[in-house]
Structure 1
């Protein structure tokens, strides 16, 4: 059964709210702010209801991003509210997405990151707050340029430090803080990660 239908505007508004308050507000990804401020993020809401339909939308969006001027479109968020709502199914689909990159000869040019409302890291429990670093309002495939990732890594070479900082940040924030943040009741600037003892 498909989830309740929402408008594309509602989907994009919820995703933008999450991006601004959590991803950028908590600095979960130090590279997100610049592309957001420059309006270089393309938001695509897919009507796909089957993985097969989503593959075709993904194929089209990968080709669009590969051909786009990076100054205008640096990255794409492909949001798909009506398919792969089960995280395990979503996780399995990532192999299909990577195979599509290779089929299109875009492996090494583009990369696909992923976010999901029920995201769960390996060896974690579903309710662990650390999982929320990758929890978006709707299942989302994030299409990125490899060149952009390389530039970001050059600018911030200790990527492992970002992960560790994010985990500490989420432990300090807690579940209640997470929901207050997204509801606008908590200023992201007030949350500072504690160093693990």
Structure 2
């Protein structure tokens, strides 16, 4: 699959689900201001992918106009458990390199399942995406956005309720449209 197809599918997921249903109430602003960087990684080597993730941190260090980066894995982490392992390595690497508190790492996967949840619980859809991906977010931007958002601690509960109301079938259809 070529990079443009993967990016287009990711953008469709972002606009038709994340923004349309306000899963992340801060995504609309960065999307409308073209401040999201999409980076597709083709390597099947974990070390290469981690090196590219850190390169994206360095990009954010030097490019203030880029608000956030979606690092999309096209050839690795198809299995959710493998993805969790890579995510844990990425989080530790960011701590080791001094990026803790500068960038937050959020994770998304087609088969995302919260610990203790059933795989068919629609609540898992809050972190489901067309491809495995890690999202680098500027901590300072999050703090600023939260200052102007009422009751941000209620976002996860609202999203869970919304996803359960929408139902897994409808959400899976939205994700399937993104993957075409």
Q: What is the TM-score when the length of structure 2 is the normalising length?
A: 0.92
Secondary structure at the counterpart of residue 136 of structure 2:
strand
Per-residue CA distance 1:7-46 (angstroms, 9 max, x = gap): 1011001100100010000000000000000000000001
Who is 2:10 aligned against?
15
Larger radius of gyration: 1
Gapped runs of 5+ residues in structure 1? 1-5, 185-197
Per-residue CA distance 1:21-79 (angstroms, 9 max, x = gap): 1000000000000000000000000111121111111121111112212xx21000000
How far is 1:113 from its partner? 0.8
Query: How many residues are aligned here?
Result: 177
Who is 2:56 aligned against?
61
Q: Which has a greater percent of helix? A: 2
Please give the alpha-carbon distance, in whole angstroms, between the structure 1 residues aligned to 2:93 and 2:176: 37
Q: What is the TM-score when the length of structure 1 is the normalising length?
A: 0.85
Please give the alpha-carbon distance, in whole angstroms, between the structure 1 residues aligned to 2:137 and 2:166: 28
Moved over 3 A (4+): 179-184
Does residue 93 (structure 1) correspond to residue 86 (structure 2)? The answer is: yes
For residues 176 and 95 of structure 1, do their structure 2 counterparts lie closer, same or farther at Cα, with a shift above 3 Å needed?
closer
Gapped runs of 5+ residues in structure 2? none
- Aligned CA-pair RMSD: 1.4
